[in-house]
Chains A and B, each alone.
Chain A
């Protein structure tokens, strides 16, 4: 059976499985539709949360970025897991005790003001739409390879499918469908990693393989990778940091507090049966997330090694990387390169006209590598590989069996679609329930509220798909921007709402707006106003990364500091919150008396 047929079969089978489970589970559990996790074992709930959380950014994009960044890529690994510690300790149990269904509801009640809840909706929308732009980029990559079309066409097809998926929507909320999606996704991620780890190091566990010696040698995999890529003029894999130590520090912090501030993640902890469950379920979710996140660095390093070994035979044999016969001939390139060339995400340009592929860092500052490249007659790097294809292409690069390649395609689609659909539901809930019904039209009928939600989903998909055609970065980078926005706006407000009895509505609103504004100001300066290409205004802030070399993706932590500072200053000069709000905060801090969640809707 040829590869393309196998891919259609496996992807088709995985979708049949999700729909089958949805239909099977629907009969008995309509009440569970929105109140996820009620009566479900915490372990199952953890898997479902993990499926919800791990998106195209985690599955498709992250390992590719780590492969490019090396050690510095660890900021994604630490940032997107460390936030669960904050979530479990600082927010989840208290929000569960509070017993409302959405983040704007909490903000509105705790800060006794509809305006505060409206500000929270604005923050939530900005973060979620940015997040979906990143997802659409990932969806585009997955569909372009799946259907063998350009990445633009992939995004158009993806927009249509995400819409159907989100409107059919219900299956999203059913825990067992998500458990199935998690299982498909994690198998798709780990099975190729096991094959590759076994092949390169003889150790089947990727987490250990990454720290092992190359098969049949005394050289550690990471040492050999360092040798090869520094020889080719790249930075050392195990030490290259992301910009600067300061940037890596604040970037990691942004992702961590962003994780704790992202509404669609927090929502899952609102609805567990007990306060004690809210604490432990974050732990279970992290266990299942960590399975992917500890495999990702192995995938990254091994894919990078295999990619170099594919185009330069001296990588595996240990010969001279610059000897002409060791670069492979373009005409004899492996089939997977041809397949990815159709998507436009892998490109070859024969700059020195020798018909062979030279893949190296031609902008290197390493004089040794530069001299060798010049002596060999290399005339610039000839191979461009989009970081977002690394994970999907990984099993093809390693020449694994067709069914493994097909499984990875199914996993990538599951990851991208489930999270995109979840975010769209969070957006439509925020606008239709918290904004339209809560603020503007309290008398709207339930039917019209639902309709408004569906229209909003369609609008959000069109906007994010359109922006996804010219994305502000790789999928994981764009998603990181979304985390920065959540970190700078929502996290501080929720945290002060719980840990400061005296924080008032003026302080919270001023803080959220200040944090959101300054972060967007810095991000839009680099990426364009509302991410529209050509509207960047770097001159105004004094050049790229002008704030102590901090990149826009990392700026959320700074925005959060501004948020806290502004909130405390404004709080000092305005009136204390009323007595009953202070009593409310005290009651939220104690687990006893937690009631079932109210305010669930749609």
Chain B
């Protein structure tokens, strides 16, 4: 793989890494590991940890995918590997 290709792939992996960290923190972190601690905070009638497990993480997943699709498109164009 040439340098350009290597740079493209490492930019891709960098983006994946960032998104996976947020993905993990919202679902496994806030929804499971720290749910008990977060439950002392209330979001309306929802305890916050419960909200993350039953509602919040789903909204964040959607946002993450569209963010990824957009950023990946930018990376494709930057390295000139996008489709016509």
**Option from A93, A212, A286 in Cβ contact (under 8 Å) with B44:** A212
From B71, which residue of chain A is reached at the shortest CB distance?
A279
Question: B19 at interface (Cβ–Cβ under 8 A)?
Answer: yes
A211 x B5 contact (CB < 8 A):
no
**Option from A82, A276, A293, A297 in Cβ contact (under 8 Å) with B27:** A82
Question: B25 at interface (Cβ–Cβ under 8 A)?
Answer: no
B83 x A274 contact (CB < 8 A):
yes
Q: A221-B45, A591-B83, A592-B82 are in contact. Are A77 and B50 (CB under 8 A)?
A: no
Note all chain B residues with C-beta closer than 8 A to A282.
Answer: 65
Q: How large is the interface on A (under 10, 10 to 19, 20 to 34, 35 or more residues)?
A: 35 or more
- Shortest CB-to-CB span from B34 to chain A, Å, is 10
Note all chain B residues with C-beta closer than 8 A to A81.
Answer: 57-58, 61
Q: A85-B64, A89-B19 are in contact. Are A74 and B31 (CB under 8 A)?
A: yes
How far does the alpha carbon of A126 sit from the alpha carbon of B6 in the complex, in Å? 38
Note all chain A residues with C-beta closer than 8 A to B45.
Answer: 210-213, 220-223
Q: Which of B35, B55, B66, B81 gathers most chain A CB within 10 Å?
A: B55
Question: A90 at interface (Cβ–Cβ under 8 A)?
Answer: yes
A88 x B69 contact (CB < 8 A):
yes
How far does the alpha carbon of A590 sit from the alpha carbon of B65 in the complex, in Å? 19
**Option from B23, B55, B76, B82 in Cβ contact (under 8 Å) with A297:** B55
Note all chain B residues with C-beta closer than 8 A to A446.
Answer: none
B28 x A252 contact (CB < 8 A):
yes
Report A199-213 residues with CB < 8 Å from chain B CB.
207-208, 210-213
How far does the alpha carbon of A207 sit from the alpha carbon of B23 in the complex, in Å? 21
Note all chain B residues with C-beta closer than 8 A to A88.
Answer: 65, 68-69
Q: A74-B31, A294-B58, A586-B5 are in contact. Are A283 and B50 (CB under 8 A)?
A: no
Question: A328 at interface (Cβ–Cβ under 8 A)?
Answer: no
Note all chain A residues with C-beta closer than 8 A to B81.
Answer: 590-592
From B12, which residue of chain A is reached at the shortest CB distance?
A589
Question: A187 at interface (Cβ–Cβ under 8 A)?
Answer: no
Note all chain A residues with C-beta closer than 8 A to B54.
Answer: 66, 71, 73-74, 77, 210, 297
Q: A78-B57, A248-B32 are in contact. Are A280 and B50 (CB under 8 A)?
A: no
**Option from A213, A279, A594 in Cβ contact (under 8 Å) with B69:** A279
A78 x B16 contact (CB < 8 A):
no
Question: A287 at interface (Cβ–Cβ under 8 A)?
Answer: yes
- B9-52 interface mask toward A, CB cutoff 8 Å, 1 = contact, 0 = none? 10010001001100100011001110110010001111100110
Would you list the 10 A-B pairs with minimal beta carbon distance, nearest first?
A220-B45, A74-B53, A283-B65, A211-B44, A297-B54, A279-B69, A211-B46, A211-B45, A280-B69, A238-B50
Binding site for A on B (CB under 8 A): 1, 5, 8-9, 12, 16, 19-20, 23, 27-28, 31-33, 35-36, 39, 43-47, 50-51, 53-55, 57-59, 61-62, 64-66, 68-69, 72-73, 76, 81-83
Binding site for B on A (CB under 8 A): 66, 71, 73-75, 77-78, 81-82, 84-85, 88-90, 93, 207-208, 210-213, 220-223, 238-239, 245, 248-249, 252-253, 274-276, 279-280, 282-283, 286-287, 290, 293-294, 297, 586, 589-592, 594
Further 6 A-B residue pairs, CB within 8 A, beyond A238-B47, A249-B33, A589-B8: A66-B54, A71-B53, A211-B45, A280-B69, A282-B65, A592-B81
